[in-house]
Amino acid sequence: MFHFTALVTCLAILFYFLTGAQVAKARAAFGIKAPAISGNPDFERVFRVQMNTLEWLPIFLPALWLFAIYISDVIAAALGLVWIVGRILYMTGYSKAANKRGLGFGIQAGAAILLWLGAIGAIAWRLVHA
């Protein structure tokens, strides 16, 4: 069973949902009517946090689950939590200024890359040693 990875998956989806709520709140605060996505730099940064999170989810989620299946549920979940923390830091930094998003981006990218490398390595190992 993969209870820890499942829980982290739910937390990642919750985080994405919260970024959507932040966009809705920013639309109201800055007077940006849908479907517009530009017109106020403060709104655009909030919007980019949501879109960047969406762009990373198809990289993160399969890597998370493949790592859990082929290596370890607990380690996958721990790296998944690091990814979420990175996303939170990305969000809080980018909300203030575009040049403050780097630390969070690096943390979440590193966690996703470790998950992917671990998964691909474990799959290749099993293929070679099957």
**CATH at residue 50:** 1.20.120.550
Domain residue limits at 16 = 8-124
2 occurs within a structural domain: no
Give me the residue label for tokens 């575009």. 98
78 occurs within a structural domain: yes
Backbone region of residue 31 per phi and psi (left: phi > 0; alpha: psi in -120 to 50; beta: other values) = left
Q: How far apart are CA 82 and CA 104, in angstroms?
A: 10
84 occurs within a structural domain: yes
Q: Which of 33, 23, 15, 31 is nearest to 95 (CA)?
A: 23
CA 108 to chain CA mean position, Å: 7
93 occurs within a structural domain: yes
Q: Phi and psi at residue 97, in whole multiples of 5°?
A: -165, 145
Number of domains composing the chain: 1
State pTM to two decimals. 0.96
Q: Per-residue pLDDT for the chain (130 aa), expressed as one digit of tens each?
A: 999 999 999 999 999 999 999 999 999 999 999 999 999 999 999 999 999 999 999 999 999 999 999 999 999 999 999 999 999 999 999 999 999 999 999 999 999 999 999 999 999 999 999 8
3 occurs within a structural domain: no
